Structure 1
Amino acid sequence: MKVLITGATGMIGQELVVFLLKNNVKVNYLSTSKDKLVSKENYKGYYWNPIANDIDLKAFEGVSVIYHLAGATVAKRWTSFYKKEILESRILPTKLLFTTLQNNSHQVNQIVSASAVGIYPDSLEFIYNEENKNVDASFLGKVVQKWENEVDAFNALNILVSKIRIGIVLSNKGGALPKIVAPIKYGFGATFGSGSQSQSWIHIDDLIHIFHFVTSNKLEGVYNAISPYPISNKEMTMAIAKFLKRPLWLPNIPKLVMKLILGEMYILLFSSQNVSALKILNQGYQFKYATIDKALISLLK
């Protein structure tokens, strides 16, 4: 089996590549940086430039599945310029993949695209599943909606479309966890606002296995990739502090303070999405790290 990965050099992409190669899956990947292209027997890089509609057609040779992970990080101050980059880094690559497959012969039968639970409205009350049609009014909610709509276009090519809505990814190699751990480790940990906002999270290993599970079982449609046990911001902070044996003595950080520091991006810390994992569980997926305690033992030991 051979797959094509976009965003292969990101945190999630790198872990997915390692997993696939260990399982004897051949990997092609697309990169906008020619310096990051390598050519090995089972791992080959190809250049693309979505802004210029430029792509190496050799990347698709023998490929049956596309893992589409490309997209600029949202964990960077949302200036008007950067908001444009966040959106275009998801829309333009998706359009280029679609038109390339539309206009050329290929063997692709499934695209598995990253998405985000940020599409769900901010709420302290609702538990969201994949059937929910409401979209959060924030910039992030609108980005995810437009992103998913572009991915849906592949249905017209008779390609199976799978969208993985990802929560907070916990990894010791990057992402949110090191940033959460650092202040707690040095005695400056604190919850944000009331701390009651739900944080739907997932261990990096479970996320990678869900991508593979969706492919192996040819699952179509939207799937939430989050632990079956979302926790509040306060519970997350307390669990990490307990594991590190550090006190939490600072008062909660007010929303206004973080809004002044981070600008519009502050919603990443204060938005609440309690998201259900029941759909993927009903398909037979078994989480290795279902609870935050198991996840922290794995990542912080």
Structure 2
Amino acid sequence: MTQTVLVTGGTGTIGRRLTQLLQQEGYQVSLLSRSAQAIPNIKTYQWDVKKGHIDPQAIINADHIIHLAGAGIADERWTDARKEEILNSRTQSTELLAQALAKNTHKVKSFVGSSAIGYYGGDTSDRPLTETSEGGSDFLAQVVRAWERSEDKVAALGIRTVKLRTGVVLTMEGGALPKLAQPVRLGAGVAIGTGQQYISWIHLDDLCRMYIQALTDESWQGVYNAVAPTPVTNETLTRAIAQVLNRPLILPNVPNFVIKLMYGELAITVTGGNYVLNKRIADETSFKYQYADLTNALEDLLK
């Protein structure tokens, strides 16, 4: 019998690709969205997180839930209002789902929620971090901690809950890679800051396949670092992009103070770094990466 996966945040970069792959795997996909028809030909239920409204049929008809919704971390400067939106869009949406699951008779077997390696802090240097490492104390770490606590409210209902602490997602549909690749194509590619800050990356398709395996494999439970096996420095990533594109790197690094002047507190998302390891994925699951190697990932995306 066809299983239905309810996806929130389905119109985003991850959500759109995940929807395609779920359909290829034979799942029925439905979306929770503010708009009545978020993606053509896909059943869409409406919700309004700020008003606390959710169409109960979305929950009643679902076998699994994948929760991706949340305001973009790096889309705008971090004013106080934007910070509040980043936090509330994650915690309030998750709590609304938990309330709907508690109120309605349903058949939901698993809940796979998005999280972020920001849990460990915006800049943790080259210290290896696993799922059991201590959380950070900066803004992003506080957001992720609150986000994961809200996901615990779903787990408290007896639903198997998985949290994927996602690293830097490599895709040409958005995020960091197009911003890094474009200047390289123009012969003006540069590393940022010292260039030695670590980037814990993952190819978009591998991330989506992790979500799908987390749905189906009942051994998955709790927190996993959704990153590729080998983090790289910002300079290594920039040089790898240049090599794949066959372009030179001739300019000096962009100093940290310039990035901070341009982006304010948000600068930590590019000047900071994390050396995050996929320990639970590697040790406890059967997940196989298609793009464990950075060069292979970049060749797939850039060529």
- Relative to the length of structure 1, the TM-score reads 0.96
Q: Secondary structure at the match of 1:191?
A: coil
Task: Decide whether the 8 Å contact of 2:60 with 2:105 is kept in 1.
Answer: no
Matched, 1:62 2:61: yes
Please name the residue that 1:22 is paired with.
24
By how many angstroms is 1:123 displaced?
2.1
Q: How does 1:1-301 map to 2 (within 5 A)?
A: 1-36=3-38, 40=41, 43-75=42-74, 76-121=76-121, 122-132=123-133, 134-218=134-218, 219-282=220-283, 283-301=285-303
Number of aligned residues: 297
1:196 maps to a residue whose letter is: Q
Task: Decide whether the 8 Å contact of 1:183 with 1:189 is kept in 2.
Answer: yes
Q: Secondary structure at the match of 1:249?
A: coil
Deviations 1:66-123 (A, max 9, x none): 1000001111211111111111110111111011111111111211001001111322
2 CA distance for matches of 1:16 and 1:80? 32
Tell me whether 118-127 or 45-54 shows the greater mean CA deviation: 118-127
Task: Decide whether the 8 Å contact of 2:59 with 2:104 is kept in 1.
Answer: no
By how many angstroms is 1:62 displaced?
3.0
1:216 maps to a residue whose letter is: T
1:183 maps to a residue whose letter is: P
Residues 125 and 172 of structure 1, relative CA distance in 2, 3 Å threshold: closer
Task: Decide whether the 8 Å contact of 2:117 with 2:276 is kept in 1.
Answer: yes
Q: Secondary structure at the match of 2:140?
A: helix
Task: Decide whether the 8 Å contact of 1:109 with 1:158 is kept in 2.
Answer: no
1:160 maps to a residue whose letter is: R
2 CA distance for matches of 1:100 and 1:252? 49
Deviations 1:201-231 (A, max 9, x none): 0001100111111111121010111110110
2:111 maps to a residue whose letter is: I
Q: Secondary structure at the match of 2:156?
A: helix
1 CA distance for matches of 2:124 and 2:105? 45
Unpaired runs of 5+ residues, structure 1, are: none
Q: Secondary structure at the match of 1:172?
A: coil
Q: Secondary structure at the match of 1:125?
A: coil
Task: Decide whether the 8 Å contact of 1:199 with 1:233 is kept in 2.
Answer: yes
Task: Decide whether the 8 Å contact of 1:196 with 1:234 is kept in 2.
Answer: yes
Task: Decide whether the 8 Å contact of 2:60 with 2:104 is kept in 1.
Answer: no
Q: Secondary structure at the match of 2:206?
A: helix
2 CA distance for matches of 1:266 and 1:37? 33
Residues 197 and 292 of structure 1, relative CA distance in 2, 3 Å threshold: same
2 CA distance for matches of 1:37 and 1:241? 35
By how many angstroms is 1:61 displaced?
2.7
2 CA distance for matches of 1:61 and 1:21? 20
1 CA distance for matches of 2:60 and 2:250? 57
Q: Secondary structure at the match of 1:113?
A: strand
1:203 maps to a residue whose letter is: H
1 CA distance for matches of 2:91 and 2:253? 37
2:57 maps to a residue whose letter is: K
Percent identity over paired residues: 40
Root-mean-square deviation (CA, aligned residues, Å) is: 1.2
1 CA distance for matches of 2:236 and 2:136? 24
